[in-house]
Amino acid sequence: MSETLRPNPAPSPRPEGADRLDSWKEIASYLGREVRTVQGWEKNEGLPIHRHQHAKQGSVYAFKSELDAWRKARKSITEAPVPVPEARPPRRWMAAPPRRWMAAAGLAILLLSAGFLFWKIHNPRPSGEQVSSVAVLPFLDLSPAKDQEYFSDGLTEEIIDGLSRVPNLRVVARTSAFAFKGKNTDIRQIGQQLNVDTVLEGSVRKASDQLRITAQLNRVSDGTHLWSRTYDRQLRDVLGVQREISQAIADQLRAGQVPPRQSTRDPEAYRLYQEGRYFFNQQLPPDSNQKAIDRYQQAIHHDPQFALAYSGIADAYAYLAEFGILAPKQVMPQAKEAAEKAVALDDSLAEAHTSLGTVKLDYERDRDGAQREFRRAMELNPGSAWARHWYAHSLEAQGRLDEAMKEMRAALALDPLSVVIHWDIDAELNYARRYDEALEREKKDLELFPDHPLLQYFEAMSYFLEGDVESGGRVAGSMKDGGSPDFQDTLFIGLSGYAAARQGRTADARKALDRLEGLRKTQYVDFYVSIHLCSALHDHQNLMLWLNRGYEERSAFWAYAPLLSFIYAGDPEAEAFIKQHRQ
């Protein structure tokens, strides 16, 4: 920003000590903004900040009177968005002498010209160009007790969802946006990492039934703000505020209207739903899933027509099977019932169609039906990375691997920090036997997500499948040193046994297979974790045993069994069994 256009309040006498703010936190709180926003104002808009001489870096202070004068001067230059003027009695311009009228008109023209010049300088977009992408960072919880994290997270998710339903706007998905939660990362760095033009940040202060929500849209290219507003509302108005913020951002980005959707009118049902989402997103199954189910069920008790809560129940049950925590037959029927109820209540809900498609694909083995659900979800919410990621899986299950890889990369563009989508792309490259490309990606993925067990698993498998047994064994050994949780324990047992078999340590490989067999007495063990090991041991009998278990137990991985031909190739009975039981 040009120095000549920064608001520069006239110097005032040095205020008394009571007028002084002694840290970035105090300054930000006084101005009602986040620390990084205020720091950006100092850098780009001349916010009057003082620094202690000879003190440590970052030791700052400011005076309220100077901040007030700066804010007043800044407000006189620009106001975004321009507020609707209150109705006032008409001014009696014609009653004034002609010279005064002409002087006032001239002043008005001068102010309008200056305002237009300011707007042009700070909006240097060519004609017809429009900002087309945004990331919504997790809103901060500024409530007195700091106990409203679930509420601020839920508000953020609703804004992301609302904006992602706008066809002309690319919105970064929740997983990637929330990767910056609690981090004081520069706006420009966030924009570069997520490949967006703008970033929305904000805060929530909830006390009793009163809300104060502050939101600010920042331009990534130079870190300056494009729009900001504070909303003071009662709790019962929270859904309306979410819609207001979403539409205001869409308007600022010239993206069009945010499509409306049904929701509950019961504040308590909505609160419980937000708590359910909070627990589900912790991804600590089975406990976090069961807590989510409990909150969703309570929400439905308050509002039996709350379709989103039914969709939440479906996902919480389904992912216990998807991640191999519980047997599919134990949880998928409940997931199916809840998903069908959600669609019946609200056919325009993308989440409901995604939930139902997941059940159809990975439990009912209805590939075509699942694909219809995912397509419908993408029509309703073009910005849903999760629906597109599931659509890619449906293409995998149909054997259309090239198309699936294209769609999975489109999902990654919407959610660039989703570790799930990253490992799905790695798996697809292994399915396609493009091992060099897979290894190149896996190394980059592990830079983003160091020591992630599933990424390490795919890296080890890529080495083994390429024929580099030494490197595969090294990666498998590093997983043992780092440890791994729950389902990944059985996955690691299978991988360590597979590594032993490939290295010629047959006795160790047999011990791993026996251990997996023993674990079946107390927990669910998916066929997927064992068939690599059986194949490496050339154990046809156990290979057929585990394949039959995968089919009979309705494993979520069975839909993709044809893609695993590199495991069982050369075993005619195994190939015939999978061909016969694809459905």
Q: How far is CA 456 from the centre of its chain?
A: 23
List the domains of the chain with CATH numbers.
Answer: 3-77 (1.10.10.10), 133-258 (3.40.50.10070), 266-406 (1.25.40.10)
pLDDT digits (tens, 9 = 90+) for 535-579: 999 999 999 999 999 999 999 999 999 998 888 878 999 999 998
DSSP 431-495: HTT-HHHHHHHHHHHHHHSTT-HHHHHHHHHHHHHHT-HHHHHHHHHHHHHH---HHHHHHHHHH
Measured in degrees and rounded to the nearest 5, phi and psi for residue 210 equal -105, 140
Percent of the chain at pLDDT > 90 equals 60
Answer whether residue 505 shows pLDDT above 90: yes
Lowest mean per-residue pLDDT among 13-27, 119-133, 135-149, 330-344? 119-133
pLDDT digits (tens, 9 = 90+) for 196-250: 999 999 999 988 888 899 999 999 998 888 999 999 998 888 888 888 999 999 9
Measured in degrees and rounded to the nearest 5, phi and psi for residue 205 equal -125, 115
Q: Please tell me the pTM assigned to this model.
A: 0.74
Q: Is it true that the peptide bond before 286 is cis, omega within 30 degrees of 0?
A: yes
Q: Which residues contact 407 (CB under 8 A, 6 or more apart)?
A: 388, 389, 391, 392, 395
pLDDT at 205: 92
The whole-angstrom separation of Cα 573 and Cα 575 is 5
Answer whether residue 101 shows pLDDT above 60: no
pLDDT digits (tens, 9 = 90+) for 151-175: 999 999 999 999 999 988 999 999 9
Contact 392, 407 (CB under 8 A): yes
Give me the half-sphere count of Cα atoms (radius 13 Å) on the Cβ side of residue 296: 27
Answer whether residue 339 shows pLDDT above 60: yes
Q: Is it true that the peptide bond before 85 is cis, omega within 30 degrees of 0?
A: no
Burial tier of 524 (Cβ tally within 10 Å: 0-12, 13-18, 19+): buried
Listing from the earlier edge strand, what are the strands of the sheet with 20-21? 20-21, 60-63, 50-51
Strand partners, 203: 140, 214
More confident call, 109 vs 253: 253
The whole-angstrom separation of Cα 179 and Cα 176 is 5
- CA neighbor of 30 nearest in space, from 214, 249, 198: 214
| Helix, strand, coil % over all residues of the chain, rounded to 5 | 60, 10, 30
